[in-house]
Structure 1
Amino acid sequence: MIKKLLICIFFFGFQSIDAQELFLFAGENFTHYHYKDSFGNANPIISKQNKSHFESGKHYDLGYIHHFEKSNLSYIGSITLNEFNAKYFLPTTTEVYFWKTKYIGIQNLASFSLFNSQSKFNTSIKAGISLSSLLSGEQNANGIYYNLTDQKDFSGLLLQSSVGVSANYKITNSASLTLGYNLSTVVKTSKTSNESLHFTNSQLQFGIQFPISPNQN
């Protein structure tokens, strides 16, 4: 995993030569788990009907933005670190289930600005995908703990498709602040059993962007 991360950092460092902005975002994830057994039945605790759920997770995003010339379109590439945590309990019982997972990934987004890029204030809509891999994870099933790193439902590559909106305000010529909100669905890239598990995630995001002067020929 460390080797993969070093390759990713090298990749983004090389690409940032032509990037117009670097950024660092942080925020909170609010994740719902969706599970069905081999017969297509949902777990009554992990279900949409069970409203007794709340567990947040951290989010970090480091990358760059390339603004296309004479266009409101931009490309965003980054390395992400996400915690997809969840906690469920039934009000009529003492049963509690929770998951704490941490994933590292590579994200690719397309962004469309609603205002001119030279404006002091700007808003954007964005959409894209990311691939991520499990770094660590644990499950508490009513007091019994499990390590999730070897569990097929959580290991392997995850595909995350997302849409979002963001607002950006330039505080100086060399920095701007961004506030964003994203919705995403996270699924496995390969099916390993007749059971199915996927996540839906809401994300609040806050960060800072640093413009980079283009290369002069």
Structure 2
Amino acid sequence: MKPLLKKTNLVIAYLLLFSMSSKAQDLYFSTGLNLTSYVFKSTDNLPLELNSKSSQFYELGYVFKLLDNKLHYSAGLAINGFDATAGDSANHYEWETTYMGLNNQLQYIIIPSERMPFELSAGLQMQLMHIINGEQKINGELFDLTKEKEFSGIWIQPGAVITAKYFVSDDWQLSLGYNYSTAINVSNNTEEKLKFNNQQIRFGIHFNIN
């Protein structure tokens, strides 16, 4: 996993350096819903049906426009909630976790806003994350997850994204987006493994700053 993490850091560093040469920039704020599915592998192999649960996310960052505005690279500070529930008639489990990360996206403009005030783009994302808060509830009892190795450490979250943007004016825009991603803990070397499959509905506001 270490070589993969090094390569990921190099790609992000290259994109950050590349973006410095771009001229057009946007400041954006996004929020919306995360619908998360936990995929958990335990050492005892006990059957546990995990149910998806919605939570919120918040993201603030910059968009750098490259290649005559055909390619957009964005880097933002994100706060993500990844939650899930499980249980039966006798027991109830609930996980509530919050991760902070640096979200990087590279999107290509499929339909430009040259003849109408709409723009459609699609691309890829790569996010680096670390847990900042987490609780497990078992029948009302609370347990701290920030020290559990399957939840803590460094996570990477690759995914795909599609975004539709409406140009209210030349100075600001509104956007609606959809992301599908998988979050993987690259620093967990225990036998218990956890990953998040996440669907994200994004609502954003963008401001031109140059």
Shorter-chain TM band: 0.7 to 0.9
Task: Give the Å deviation of 1:98.
Answer: 0.8
Fraction of identical pairs, as percent: 32
Q: CA RMSD in A?
A: 2.2
Q: 1:205 to 1:16 in 2, by over 3 A?
A: farther
Compute the TM-score of the two structures, normalised by the length of structure 2.
0.84
In 1, the alpha carbon distance for the partners of 2:164 and 2:142 equals: 41
CA distance in structure 2 between the aligned counterparts of 1:86 and 1:16, rounded to whole angstroms: 42
Alignment match of 1:154 (pick from 143, 148, 151):
151
Cα deviation for residue 94 of structure 1 reads: 3.4
Distance in 1 between the 2:148 and 2:70 partners? 43
Aligned-partner Cα distance in 2 for 1:180–1:192:
34
Q: How many residue pairs align between the two structures?
A: 192
Q: Return the alpha-carbon distance in structure 2 between the equivalents of residues 43 and 185 of structure 1.
A: 22
What are the Cα deviations for residues 82-114 of structure 1, in whole angstroms up to 9, with x where unaligned? 000111233xx1321111111111011110111
From 64, 87, 95, the equivalent of 2:91 is 95
Checking the alignment, whether the CA contact within 8 Å between 2:149 and 2:188 is kept in structure 1 is no
Q: Distance in 1 between matches of 2:74 and 2:110?
A: 16
Q: CA deviation at 1:42?
A: 5.8
* Residues 1:20 and 2:36 aligned together: no
Mapped partners of 2:85, 2:34: distance in 1: 13
Tell me how far apart the structure 2 counterparts of residues 195 and 206 of structure 1 sit (CA, whole Å): 35
C-alpha distance after superposition, 1:176-211 (max 9, x if no partner): 000011111011112321111111111111010011
Return 5+ residue gaps in structure 2 as ranges: 1-15
Check the 8 A contact 1:19/1:64 in 2, yes or no.
no
Q: Which runs of 4+ in 1 moved over 4 A?
A: 15-19
Aligned to 2:184: 187
Is contact 1:36-1:42 (8 Å) kept?
no
What letter matches 1:165 in structure 2?
Answer: I
CA distance in 2: counterparts of 1:212 and 1:141, whole angstroms: 48
What letter matches 1:32 in structure 2? S
What is the aligned counterpart of 1:207 among 185, 204, 209? 204
